[in-house]
Amino acid sequence: MTLRRDFLKKAALGGAVGLLTPDILSAAASSDPVTSQNEKKGYTFLFQGDSITDGNRTRNTDWNHVMGHGFAYLIASRLWFDFPEKEFHFFNRGISGNKITDLAARWQADTLDLKPDLLNILVGVNDTEATVKGNKEATPQQFETDYRALLEKTRQTLPDIQLVLCIPFLLPVGRVKDKWESYQEALKPRQEIVRRLAKDFNAIAIDFQQGFDEALKKAPADYWIWDGIHPMPAGHELITRIWIKEVHKKLKFVRS
């Protein structure tokens, strides 16, 4: 009954999920103040972004689907299972079709009000596609300005938050393949912007593009991403493994 009450309490805050998890700290105290500080129970993870994060999640308290069916679900299920004593909380607030401007419009309710300890952001593909389709307002400069403003607001409100910025990615499949050069021209500046923002805000940067490019040595592009944008099940697993590996470098209690 306690577990159910805790879940309903969290769901009332924003409709999503969470509370079970890991204990992994090493016996020795870490010299990294961020790592040391975050070795606690009830650590809250928030996944924010577009359809890749959304994963067709429900907008209710259905535990079967509230985290969606993509990498956010895989990360949460793995850490919840392995470390129940840590009482982790996980929220998914990805929304299909969102650009950086859409995130900004809902940032207070869907991010700041949830008070996450770790915020994962994966955005940029819809901004890229808007450019390819001829939207003159969807420029890399606009993307950086709006993204930076969100991060500044987040740092001001939640100064101890751990930011994880994911570099947007594509593979030459489907409609993306048909206009591959145009997509690449629009995507690469945004990839560099995310790398720059990660440095500026002391965030963990995760290069999924590199991971997918290396995966092409094992299987063709459509094995990993079916339409050039949205990952196949194997693609979401690839994201999950890369994410845990990279986040673990900074936060030792995140591991598989």
| Count of domains observed in the chain | 1
Q: Is residue 256 part of a domain?
A: no
Mean pLDDT of 103-116: 98
pLDDT given for residue 39 in this prediction: 61
pLDDT given for residue 37 in this prediction: 45
pLDDT given for residue 91 in this prediction: 97
The 10s digit of each residue's pLDDT in 12-45 is 444 444 444 333 323 333 334 444 445 678 999 9
Q: 231 has which bridge partners? A: 225
pLDDT band at residue 140, thresholds of 50, 70 and 90? very high
Contact criterion met (CB below 8 Å) for 35 and 28: no
Contact criterion met (CB below 8 Å) for 111 and 44: no
pLDDT given for residue 63 in this prediction: 84
pTM assigned to the model: 0.85
Residue scoring higher pLDDT (61 or 217): 217
Residue 25 tokens read as 């700290």
CATH of the domain at 94: 3.40.50.1110
Instruction: Show the domain range for 201.
Output: 2-248
- Using CA atoms, how far apart are residues 184 and 165, in angstroms rounded to an integer? 20
- With 50 as the cut, is the pLDDT of residue 243 above it? yes
pLDDT given for residue 102 in this prediction: 98
Query: What average pLDDT is seen over the chain?
Result: 88
Q: Is residue 90 part of a domain?
A: yes
Mean pLDDT of 51-71: 94
Q: Is residue 35 part of a domain?
A: yes
- With 70 as the cut, is the pLDDT of residue 220 above it? yes
Q: Is residue 61 part of a domain?
A: yes
Residue scoring higher pLDDT (64 or 143): 143
Q: Is residue 143 part of a domain?
A: yes
Residues contacting residue 16 through CB under 8 Å, at least 6 positions apart = 10, 57, 66, 67, 90, 91, 92, 93
Mean pLDDT of 181-188: 98
pLDDT given for residue 46 in this prediction: 98
Mean pLDDT of 239-254: 96
Contact criterion met (CB below 8 Å) for 103 and 60: no
Half-sphere exposure of 1 (CA within 13 A, CB side): 0
Mean pLDDT of 155-169: 98
Q: Is residue 26 part of a domain?
A: yes
Mean pLDDT of 50-59: 97
DSSP code per residue over 188-232 = HHHHHHHHHHHHHTTPEEEEHHHHHHHHTTTS-HHHHBSSSSSBP
The 10s digit of each residue's pLDDT in 202-218 is 999 999 999 999 999 99
For residue 44, give the nearest of 99, 123, 103, 113 by alpha carbon: 113
Q: Is residue 99 part of a domain?
A: yes
Q: Is residue 253 part of a domain?
A: no
